[in-house]
Structure 1
Amino acid sequence: MHQDVSFPPRPLRGVRAVYARQASCPSDFADITVDFEPWEEGITFEVHADLHTRGSITPDELTEYQNAVATGIKEELTALEAKTTVAVAAVLRAVGIHEMDSHAGAFRHAGRLAVRRALILAYGSPPSPKRLPSRPQR
């Protein structure tokens, strides 16, 4: 991205990010849907008034997970600020929760993934590394 690029260049709605890792017990699970809207310069995070929640969760846990999503989004976007102008309102529209495997860390990772997916939607995939020529067979 060049210095004169702004994120997001247009509304990016329904960006879904699922962070699921089953390496041990407990596992990690977070499923979010976020809208990225052009806004004033800086990073604004909001929770949609009609937040759709899949799974069973207490209000305190939901608040903790929402804050973790905001942290992940802000961390990922802050890394862009040297390269691009960040002027975004990130609106959390839906969360999916697993009763045993969801925790704040998983939602933080999902927030970071949502930003990465939004960047791909906005600007395309980063270039793939070039393959080295194969060695001739003997």
Structure 2
Amino acid sequence: MDPEPTPGARVFPPHPIRDVRATYARQTSCPSDFAQVVVDFEPWEEGVAFEAADSASVRGWPAEEIASFHEGFIEGVREELAGLVGREPATAVAVAVVLRRIKVHNADSHRGAFRAAGRVAVRNALVQAYGPPPGPGRRRGSAER
């Protein structure tokens, strides 16, 4: 389904962006954080739709805990996409997010780590869609003054 863009705004995603990999790992102390995901971003209706594929589960883990990881992930995705509003260039969000796979660590995976991985996944998808964000302007060194 083609999204209805806001006049003058680009639409995210402009095309299907598949197999976006995102890892959030912070191993500095206890507790540590670990979450790894593979996700697709598909053009859809305005807003954010979410689906977790059957393959986005982990054998031997309680369904409630995996559901919590999924909820954390989409929470992070929504937060990161909300940050596009009011930024230049204007970007309308019309996306179906399909969580394909997750990888967990038996001690370091938790909802918060998956929330952070959701944010990373959106950043990775934005780079694939539009290229890297512009860096800061070139600074003049003392020799150039």
TM-score, scaled relative to structure 1: 0.89
- AA aligned to 2:69 is Y
In 1: Cα distance, 2:77 partner to 2:120 partner:
8
Residue 79 of structure 2 aligns with which residue? 75
In 1: Cα distance, 2:79 partner to 2:94 partner:
14
Query: Within the alignment, does 1:92 sit opposite 2:99 as a pair?
Result: yes
Query: Within the alignment, does 1:120 sit opposite 2:124 as a pair?
Result: no
Q: Does the residue aligned with 2:9 lie in a helix, a strand or coil? A: coil
Bigger shift: residues 71-80 or 8-17: 71-80
In 1: Cα distance, 2:40 partner to 2:73 partner:
13
Residue 62 of structure 2 aligns with which residue? 58
Root-mean-square deviation (Å): 1.7
Residue 140 of structure 2 aligns with which residue? 133
User: Which one has a larger percent strand, Structure 1 or Structure 2?
Assistant: 1
Moved over 6 A (4+): none
Q: Does the residue aligned with 2:142 lie in a helix, a strand or coil? A: coil
In 2: Cα distance, 1:127 partner to 1:42 partner:
26
In 1: Cα distance, 2:20 partner to 2:29 partner:
28
Q: CA offset at residue 60 of structure 1?
A: 1.3
Q: CA offset at residue 58 of structure 1?
A: 1.8
For structure 2, list consecutive stretches of 5 or more residues without a partner in the other structure: 1-6
Q: Does the 8 Å CA contact 1:52/1:93 hold for their aligned counterparts?
A: no
How many matched pairs? 134
For structure 1, list consecutive stretches of 5 or more residues without a partner in the other structure: none
Q: CA offset at residue 134 of structure 1?
A: 2.6
Query: Within the alignment, does 1:9 sit opposite 2:14 as a pair?
Result: yes
Residue 44 of structure 2 aligns with which residue? 39
- AA aligned to 2:28 is A
In 2: Cα distance, 1:134 partner to 1:4 partner:
37
Query: Within the alignment, does 1:18 sit opposite 2:31 as a pair?
Result: no
In 2: Cα distance, 1:126 partner to 1:76 partner:
15
In 1: Cα distance, 2:124 partner to 2:69 partner:
20
